[in-house]
Structure 1
Amino acid sequence: MAEHTDTPGSGHPIEAVLCRFLDELKGLTDVATWTMDATTTTRVVALGARVGAGVAELEARSISHAETLDLPGAAQCRDVARWVQRTTGVTGRSARAKAKLATGLANLEPTRTATARGEIHAEQAQAIANHVAVLDDEKVSAHDQARAETFLLGEARHGHDADALATLGHAIWERLDPEGADEREARALEAQEERARRRTRLTMGDDGDGLTHGRFSIPTAAADAFRKQLHALAAPKHVRAEQGAGAYDWQKPSADRLGQAFTDWIEGYDPAQLPKIGGLTATVVVVGDYDLLRGKVKAARLETGTKISPTEYLRLACGAGIIPAWMNASGEVLALGRKHRFHTPAQRLAAIVEQRHCQHESGCDVPGYLCHAHHDIPWAQGGTTDLRTTTLYCPFHHARVHQPGHDPTRT
């Protein structure tokens, strides 16, 4: 965490209070919590939440002021969230959330005041701001926006958490315009679904230790269907059938059970149901050699280059949607002759297994499944559709290979 100044440098009351608060917290470092009884512990947890809300509001207000002073611009940061991240040392995700709260509270004085006093949590304040912002996008009058804020703020004070406020926010028009509520709700849902489609994302990254981590944002309706499919794979009947009696020992699928169900879902999906990619079904090819058949312990691999154990290779080779490829001692797949003008799916798979990526001499690493199969000897000149005379090129380099006078050593 970024360093702070224990004594006020400017004498400003906000800075002074925060520094005194930090000093007071230091004094509590060695105070044992076991000395509190159940009632006191409950009150302390609730007080901690209220103090946290007040600090979050003060931080949000200060972030808004930093933007007014153009501190992000002076620090050459691309936006205020990046400036917050740089100033505080929090993650980009946390910094964006703080900046979003600052924006949300800037024009919602009742909600800001309630947060500052610890009457509602920062996440409740954000939920209120989110729904008032939607009303603003719909050109709703300032009067009706104020009515909506008052309603949601009252519900927050009565104990509705941020999720409940989100549900109430969707039905806000029942209070603002009872007669037109249904039509407005339908339009609002259409707009929400369109926003969700635009914001749909998925990222994945290999950690180098056999695990790939990812994050995704998908429309909630699709997530409901996905969750139901994973629960079906993690259901007691299915798990017992797959793993035997006694394998099911939980009431609700845990994160690790759902993760395994997700893996089962991927490996069991029929690639024939997917659109083709590079002229082929989206099929994983696992590659081994004759030594594995003879029981030698050595690594196998996927056509993507990922290495796997022989045990995993044999397991995948038995699965649906998986093609095992056996190589000869030279690592070659047998070729087909001049039967077809275009490369067959089997030939394309073989080329992907052997070459793995674009073969242009510039070092292009576009994956093989996104490449074109190129005849080294043109078909019109008597060339065969043969694996030995087939080279994978990405579309960019394939076009250049066919240009007159092309030098393969240049991109």
Structure 2
Amino acid sequence: MVHLGYDLDTHDLVRDALAAGDLRPEQAVAIVRAVKELPQDLDTDLVIRAERHLVDAAAEHDAKTLRILGRRLLEVVAPELADQHEADLLEKEEAKAAQAMRLTMTDDGHGKTHARFTLPTVQAAMLKKMLLAIAAPKHQAATHGAGVERRPGPERMGRAFAELIERISAKDLPKVGGRDATIVIHIDLDVLTGRLEKAGVLDTGERISPSQVRRLACTARILPVVLNGKSEVLDVGRAKRFFTKAQLTALGIRDGGCRTEGCDWPPWLCHGHHWQRWADDGDTDLANGGLLCPRHHARAHDPTDETTREANGKVSFHRRE
């Protein structure tokens, strides 16, 4: 409101209309902002004409609509300049939006995670269209039967968001540490086959119910690491130079993250490291492997650093003398 007070000194039409009760304060703010966004070198008569146009439009439109009309203001007063001005304005907005992107997620400890995000308009439109495709009445009726052909509300959009996440293939995402972004779960064979009810543990640390484990395993949305069941070969000796996905998964479960003392990097962001170098006849197997984060992996290969493996399985680094 203080800013508006200053702006009214240079926007006579808005000031007079506001004083006469023809404008609400939020409408005045929308009009002033739209006029101030016009090109600085625009002819004064055109600026006055633009301001008058929005003041007149305020008789039928609220502040939100006035903001929308303000974006197309040049089309009314100077059509020949409108396209270039809109392009310049959009580029500025998109640059600001790219800098403002944020995502925060907080686990409440009761099976729910609360999130807040800020996205540029185009990515938000893409996300909304994806969610509406899943939450659409026809899709819901086809997958869940009749009786759900209602307009998507917040609950259904939330369910659609969860389904969208499950639908995204890890193969389409960048690999991290030689592995894709598939969730790994540590579970007993008896749980997977339904003979035992016991929680599964994700490689991210969360615990989920046995029924959830079996559902996700059935849809191939997780990679179960099964105890007492058939598994991939984990020791390949000298047959391969790099650790396989199965080996990296096993290292992640065993090490729980970077092996460096005091480092808290999670396993899915770490690299597989040969304790005895491959070039020195070291085998590519679990006994000769361990997880290190990128920074400590670089130190392990730095000739000026010496790596010490501690009795507790951790490693430490110090400069060579």
Q: Shorter-normalised TM-score: what interval?
A: 0.7 to 0.9
1:236 corresponds to: 137
1:389 aligns with 2:280: no
Kept after mapping to 1: 8 A contact 2:232/2:246: no
Structure-2-length-normalised TM-score: 0.81
Q: Match of 2:216?
A: 316
Structure 1 segment 301-340 matched on structure 2, within 5 A:
301-328=201-228, 335-338=234-237, 339-340=239-240
In structure 1, list runs of 5 or more residues that go unmatched: 1-59, 62-102
Matches within 5 A, 1:142-291: 143=44, 147-156=49-58, 158-246=59-147, 248-250=148-150, 252-291=151-190
Choose from 236, 241, 260 the match for 1:341. Answer: 241
The verdict on how the C-alpha distance between 1:392 and 1:178 changes in structure 2, with shifts beyond 3 A counting, is same
| Inter-partner Cα distance in structure 2 for 1:278 and 1:104 | 54
SS of residue paired to 2:306: coil
The residue type equivalent to 1:260 in the other structure is R
**Residue-by-residue CA offset, 1:191-238 (whole Å, 9 max, x unaligned):** 333332332322222222221111222222222222222111112222
- The residue that corresponds to 1:356 in the other structure is 256
Matched with 1:20 is: none
Task: Please tell me whether the aligned partners of residues 27 and 66 of structure 2 are also in contact (alpha carbons under 8 angstroms).
Answer: yes
Aligned-partner SS, 1:180? helix
CA distance in 2, matches of 1:315, 1:152: 57
Gap regions ≥5 residues in structure 2: 309-314
**Residue deviations 1:59-93, cap 9 Å, x none?**
x43xxxxxxxxxxxxxxxxxxxxxxxxxxxxxxxx
1:380 maps to which residue? Answer: 279
1:78 corresponds in structure 2 to: none
Q: Distance in 1 between matches of 2:223 and 2:269?
A: 18
Q: How well do the aligned residues superpose, as a CA RMSD in angstroms?
A: 3.0
One-letter code aligned to 2:242: F
Q: Which amino acid aligns with 2:196?
A: K
Q: CA deviation at 1:117?
A: 7.9
Distance 1:124 1:318, change over 3 A: farther
Structure (1/2) with the larger helix percentage: 1
CA–CA distance in structure 2, aligned partners of residues 399 and 318 of structure 1:
39
* Counterpart-to-counterpart distance in 2, 1:105 and 1:172: 23
1:356 and 1:368 in contact (8 A); partners too: yes
| SS of corresponding position for 1:223 | helix
- Count residues with an aligned counterpart: 303
Q: Among the aligned pairs, what percent are the same residue?
A: 41
For 1:193 and 1:204, the matched residues in 2 are separated by 24
1:368: Cα distance to partner? 1.6
How far, CA to CA, are the matches of 1:326 and 1:368 in structure 2? Answer: 18
Once the two structures are superposed, residues 274-305 of structure 1 have per-residue CA deviations (whole angstroms, 9 ceiling, x without a partner) of: 22222222212222123413522221121111
Instruction: Label 1:311 to 1:294 Cα distance change in 2 as closer, same or farther (>3 A).
Output: closer
**CA distance, structure 1, for counterparts of residue 163 and residue 128 of structure 2:** 14
Paired amino acid for 2:153: S
Quick one: distance in 2 between partners of 1:214 and 1:113? 45
| Aligned counterparts of 2:255 and 2:51: Cα–Cα separation in 1 | 61
- Does structure 1 conserve the Cα–Cα contact (< 8 Å) formed by 2:177 and 2:272? no
Cα distance, 1:386 vs. partner?
0.9
User: Which amino acid in structure 1 is aligned with residue 181 of structure 2?
Assistant: A
Q: Report if aligned partners of 2:183, 2:203 keep a CA contact under 8 Å in 1.
A: yes
C-alpha distance in structure 2 between counterparts of 1:394 and 1:112, whole Å = 62
What's 1:31 paired with?
A: none
Q: Structure 1's 191 and 357: CA in aligned 2 closer, same or farther, altered over 3 A?
A: same
**TM-aligned CA distance change 1:223 to 1:348, over 3 Å:** same
Structure 1: how far apart are the matches of 2:211 and 2:149?
27
The structure where strand makes up a greater share of residues is 2
TM-score (normalizing by structure 1): 0.65
Deviations 1:1-35 (A, max 9, x none): xxxxxxxxxxxxxxxxxxxxxxxxxxxxxxxxxxx
Aligned equivalents of 2:16, 2:259: Cα separation in 1 = 63
Q: CA deviation at 1:121?
A: 4.8
Higher relative contact order (CA 8 A, sep 6+): 2
Partners of 1:268 and 1:319 within 8 A in 2: no
Of residues 159-168 and 141-150 in structure 1, the stretch that sits farther from structure 2 once superposed is 141-150
**Distance (whole Å) between structure 2 residues aligned to residue 347 and residue 264 of structure 1:** 30
Q: Does 1:296 align with 2:199?
A: no
